[in-house]
Amino acid sequence: MTAEKPSLRRRVRASRVFRSVFRHGAPTDNLNRALAIVSNVFLHAHPVKVHVRSLQFLRTFCLGGITFLLFLITLVTGVLLMFYYVPDVNLAYQDMKDLAYVVPFGQFLRNLHRWAAEGMVLTVLLHMARVFYSGSYRPPREFNWVIGVGLLVMTLLLSYTGYLLPWDQLAYWAITVGANMAGSTPVVGHSGPFSVTTVENDVRALLLGGTVVGQSALLRFYVLHCIALPLFLLAGMAAHFWRVRKDGGLARPL
Amino acid sequence: MTEETPKPSSDRRFLLKAGLAALAAAGAALVAGVGRFLKPRVVYEPPMRFAAGPPAEFPPGAVSTKFMDEQQVAVIHGPDGIYAFLTVCTHLGCVVNFDAAERVFKCPCHGSVFALDGKVLGGPAPLPLARASLSLDALGRIVVNKADTANIVDDASRGKFLIKGLT
């Protein structure tokens, strides 16, 4: 009778490489299940145990989670689009056409980016409505509502800055109108009440990098859209998720 | 015998405060520097001030649209003299077009209509078109300053928005 060879799974688990990554045993008992969560940087914001009512679909409709998923989709598709898109007034529109007609899966990725972004605005608003109607903004969660409003603003600003990048008529005039709204800000906008600025040095000029929507504006919106706002959004989401846990978990009375 | 924790001397407190003050000053300088960095010294766009030409180029009744494409400025010789306004709709900032047949300016976005003196004839525009201030340079040319504007119609009292033309 030959000695039974240990299974492949067992051998992998026993290997030095595997044990250097996962320092706990198989999640077959409560201790190791807990260790699987708390010793993983991506999972550790999650509680080890969740109240059964928090998992009921009708409590949350998964709206925050769907928003996060849509954000991840825009993140991945956005990074891929950056390989083909150049923020130059002579190239931007042409790159859009290339993405639509030449690049393999380019149109698909661009549409995915667009629809995920539009969906994200929708689910953020629905998520806010759910939190409002279930009274989940009440103490001790009131500050997380404030963070959430910041995330809503970031989401809208990302939509706004992304709107300019195709550099077509729709983009150009939408950003012209939006920038003129910034120019109507009280005190710091040149056409706002109590203005102390001119068209050349107000908050609109800061946003556009000039007095008209041109190359500087396209580059500024590109940098805001691809780097600055996503970083703020990620930092805000980390704080938001962390506080969900610290304020007593999801969707149930305390 | 227990040793008491020595109280931080006032010298050390002072050093701490001086250090914090230096950090705050450096932070303020950083914010100011980044703010200055974001305001470009050179912009590659049509200048805010440009020479439109001598007054003789704008005879009475003329509506000059030749600067509209690049500068979004119309120069008009009205009953009181030569004036210029930005052909940018005061509703949401679209560029208005000159309708030569009806002699009015029309906005393609939401249908605002402006008279030759910039007055609103219809549509959602809340203000008359913005007059740009005018001056004459050393060569006798009219210089239009788009950075200095006012949404006025009656320009008789506002000298800088009106230049006496040749009659």
Contact B74, B63 (CB under 8 A): yes
Q: What is the DSSP string of A18-62?
A: HHHH--S--TTSHHHHHHHHHT-TTTTTS-SS--GGGG-HHHHTT
Closest CA of chain B from A207, distance in Å: 9
Nearest to residue B132, comparing CAs of B141, B120, B142, B144?
B144
- Closest in B40, B109, B147 to A209, CB measured: B40
| A56 CB within 8 Å of a chain B CB | no
- Closest in A180, A199, A212 to B92, CB measured: A180
* Count of pairs with CB atoms under 8 A, one residue in A, one in B: 42
How far apart CA B167 and CA A158 sit, in angstroms, is 55
How far apart CA B83 and CA B65 sit, in angstroms, is 13
Closest CA of chain B from A246, distance in Å: 32
How far apart CA B150 and CA B165 sit, in angstroms, is 21
CB contact under 8 A, B147 and A210: no
Question: How many Cβ atoms are within 10 Å of A127's Cβ, its own excluded?
Answer: 22
At A116-149, the pLDDT tens digits run 999 999 999 999 999 999 988 988 899 999 999 9
- Rounded to an integer, the average pLDDT of B105-127 is 93
The first and second tokens of residue B120, run together, are 């609103």
How far apart CA B64 and CA B77 sit, in angstroms, is 9
At B13-47, the pLDDT tens digits run 899 999 999 999 999 999 999 999 998 888 888 88
- Rounded to an integer, the average pLDDT of B136-146 is 92
At A194-231, the pLDDT tens digits run 989 888 889 999 999 998 899 999 999 999 999 999 99
- Of the listed ranges A64-78, A166-180, A221-235, B7-21, the one predicted with least confidence: B7-21
CB contact under 8 A, A198 and B46: no
Q: Is the ipTM of this complex over 0.85?
A: no
Kindly list the residues from chain B whose CB atom is less than 8 angstroms away from the CB atom of residue A88. none
Q: Which residues contact A250 (CB under 8 A, 6 or more apart)?
A: A50, A51, A54, A59, A60, A244
